[in-house]
Amino acid sequence: MTFFDGDSSLISNLPAIVVTLPLFASLIAGFLGWKNRKAPYPIAAVALFLTFISSVVLMIQVMSTGVAIEYRMAGWAAPVGIVYVIDHLSALVILLITSIAFVNFIANKSNIDTVFRNKAGAFNSLYLLFTAGLLGMTATGDAFNLYVLMEIASLSGYALIGLGSNRAPLSTLNYLFLGTIGATFYLLGVGYIYIATGSLNMADIASIMPKILDSSMILFAFIICMVGLLIKMAIFPLHGWLPNAYSESANVAAGLIAPLTTKVTIYIMIRICLTLFTPQYTFDYLNTSDLMVWLAIGTIIFGSLSALAQKDYKRMLTYIIIAEVGYMVGGFFLGNRIGVSGAILHIVNDAAMTLALFMAAGIFMWKTGEESQESLKGMFAKMPFTMAGFTVAALSVVGVPPTCGFFSKWYLISGGIAAGQYFFVAALIFSSLVNAILFFRIFEIAHFEPFKDHHHHSSNHSNKGEEASAHDTHEQTIKEAPLGMLIPFMAVSILLVVLGLYSGQIVNNIINFAIPSSIL
């Protein structure tokens, strides 16, 4: 009987556990890293796995009860203390964060060993702290607590991105400046909200909001919070930091940060607009839809065109990320139920797609040691499994059924038509076409051009016959990535299809409950 009690108290404490477990693991990993260089990795892996399990349990709990879980930190109730609120939306994003952090960590073991060899303790600590920061940002129901956790996620993010190519420190410095401005703007906004309402709790502020709709302080708080978040999610024209920061960094860092940072920031934007400022203020009183949708259209077009101009595979991905930010922001600010559903669904799908593409980048880098698209020659023959997974991910970004990218795009386009934002619909279709060109260009290089062995540059250019036969032998030997990289990658690419097939259930059973009923 006591065991059962202990078990149920474990479950009731899950909202705190899911955030503090990575924190504790990071402390232990940082501590043991000084004793034994090999110790931190398994600790971090186990902790990330347990966090993933707890997030699954949280999701099941929220779905089965149908009500949001409120957890009082230090035992104080809502406006006085800090509460965590796990509703359908945050449970979904928490599950997304934990699964991506875990899969990326498992898949990149060799990358961690080479890049962070001497600093394993510090690296594993920071990886866990980044995860904890994002989880806290997602789970919290307190506007200031969100800022504190944003600080943790940002600081550890800068550190993780800072080690990579020779130019990584410079691009990280750039990211640090802009990221700090973004976070500070958000904090300033919270300060204004506190002056106007005297509260920091999101639900409490939302209950005060109807009385102070015309307060200019609230207007400014809304503007400055939004600008801060838009900088952090890298919307055009505030995107300057993103391409360099993500493409210069080590694969393990890019694979964690690229899928998660922008997506979690969009989640924060949705959370702030819906839970804190209330949909009534965001959509009806201020009528922000048109402005934000136009911003999104600009982002989509700019991101797609810039991606077209890139020669490096990873840089191309970074511009695709920027275009996708436009999808989600635009979809959310359409302000109707279909558009908002599409935006939330796309947070999940885009994170999974980006993870798959960056994992593929990691495998290509491991294989060729280069980042240019030209280096992918002959990859289909050489690495059939990897390329199969890559094809699924690419088709998903383009938006081909039954991959998940198609379904969220379908919701976004239907939402755009329902809201009468035809330019947004046109931008989405344009971007899909550009994505098709981008990836089919890579398919062409990887399928039709012969493999170039980058490890042993062929010195034998004089004799054409010999060279051709050499290529023949190359093409026959299939040399895949090590299983440690390949299996997680294949799992993620299968997940892309599974997410697509079950997207109806996700929308009906989770996202539907995440959107307030006032949005029609």
| Interface positions with another protein (CB under 8 A) | 9, 12-13, 16-17, 20, 23-24, 27-28, 30-31, 34, 71-76, 79-82, 116, 118-119, 122-123, 125-126, 129, 132, 136, 142, 144-145, 148-149, 151-152, 155-156, 158-160, 162-163, 169, 192, 194-199, 208, 215-217, 219-220, 223
Taking the least distance from each CB to another protein, the nearer of 145 and 262 is: 145
Q: Is the backbone of residue 234 left (phi > 0), alpha (psi -120 to 50) or beta?
A: left
Taking the least distance from each CB to another protein, the nearer of 83 and 348 is: 83
At 296 the three-state DSSP class reads: helix
CB of 129 to another protein, least distance (A): 5
CB of 88 to another protein, least distance (A): 23
CB of 192 to another protein, least distance (A): 8
User: For residues 314 and 371, what is the distance between their CA atoms, to the nearest angstrom?
Assistant: 7
Q: Which 3-state string (H, E, C) describes 175-203?
A: HHHHHHHHHHHHHHHHHHHHHHHCCCEHH
Q: Which two tokens stand for residue 261?
A: 């940072």
User: For residues 418 and 442, what is the distance between their CA atoms, to the nearest angstrom?
Assistant: 35
User: For residues 484 and 488, what is the distance between their CA atoms, to the nearest angstrom?
Assistant: 7
Taking the least distance from each CB to another protein, the nearer of 53 and 429 is: 53
Taking the least distance from each CB to another protein, the nearer of 51 and 354 is: 51
- Cβ(495)–Cβ(345) below 8 Å: no
CB of 224 to another protein, least distance (A): 8
Taking the least distance from each CB to another protein, the nearer of 186 and 192 is: 192
Q: Is the backbone of residue 317 left (phi > 0), alpha (psi -120 to 50) or beta?
A: alpha
CB of 42 to another protein, least distance (A): 18
How far are the Cα atoms of 141, 149, 164 from residue 73, in angstroms, in the given order? 11, 15, 38
- Percentages helix, strand, coil for the chain, rounded to the nearest 5? 80, 5, 20
Residue 211: how many CB atoms within 10 A of its CB?
Answer: 9
DSSP string, 455-493: SS-----S-HHHHHHHHHHHHHS--PPPHHHHHHHHHHH
CB of 201 to another protein, least distance (A): 9
Residues 6+ apart with CB under 8 A from 38: 120
CB of 261 to another protein, least distance (A): 15
Taking the least distance from each CB to another protein, the nearer of 132 and 297 is: 132
Taking the least distance from each CB to another protein, the nearer of 16 and 53 is: 16
Taking the least distance from each CB to another protein, the nearer of 86 and 445 is: 86
Taking the least distance from each CB to another protein, the nearer of 271 and 346 is: 271
User: For residues 83 and 143, what is the distance between their CA atoms, to the nearest angstrom?
Assistant: 10
Residues 6+ apart with CB under 8 A from 421: 293, 330, 334
CB of 424 to another protein, least distance (A): 27
Nearest Cα neighbor of 358 from 481, 259, 232 is 259
CB of 163 to another protein, least distance (A): 7
